[in-house]
Amino acid sequence: MPPKTNPLKLNPLQLKTLTLMQELANDPETAMIDQLTGDSTVSRFPHAHGNHFHLGRFVVSSADATGLSNEAVWKALERKGLARSFYPTAITLTQAGREYDTGLRDQILHGSDH
């Protein structure tokens, strides 16, 4: 039997935000990974220009990223055990948060042509 999709019942904004945080957590320019725990602390966040921003090699719609600056979303991820919030300066994704399958990666992370 395949794993249950969204077992923690994250809402759409939380899922989008976690997807973006996961990408940020894997980028050495925006995060630092604790080699002992697998947790990753994100302390640099992208800034939109126009209706999008760049996240590594991806382009993301600003509309999909409103949770990056929403304290309630950060706290919800913390309550679910996926993160530790240090809003607004940093967020640490736990190993569980880094591995959670949001199912949105292909929908909100678009290949960049510039």
The model carries a pTM of 0.94
Tokens representing residue 92 in the block: 């640490």
The residue among 49 and 40 whose pLDDT is bigger is 40
- Look at residue 51 in the predicted model and tell me its pLDDT: 95
Indicate the range of 53-57, 62-66, 97-101 predicted with least confidence. 53-57
In the chain, the largest separation of any two C-alpha atoms, in whole Å, equals 43
Burial of 49 (0-12, 13-18, 19+ CB in 10 A): exposed
What share of the chain has pLDDT > 70, as a percent? 95
Indicate the range of 29-38, 45-54, 74-83, 87-96 predicted with least confidence. 45-54
Q: Which of 77, 47, 60 minimizes the C-alpha distance to 20?
A: 60
User: For 63, how many CA atoms within 13 A lie in the half-sphere containing its CB?
Assistant: 3
Q: Is the pLDDT of residue 27 over 80?
A: yes
CA 19 to CA 39: how far, in whole Å?
15
Only one residue has tokens 């966040």, namely 45
| CB-based contact 51:63 (threshold 8 Å) | yes
Phi, psi (deg, nearest 5) at residue 40: -135, 125
User: What residue ranges define each of the domains in the chain, with the CATH number in brackets?
Assistant: 12-47+67-104 (1.10.10.10)
**Model confidence at 48, in pLDDT bands (50, 70, 90)?**
confident
Q: CA angle, 41 as apex, 71 and 70 as ends, to 5°?
A: 15
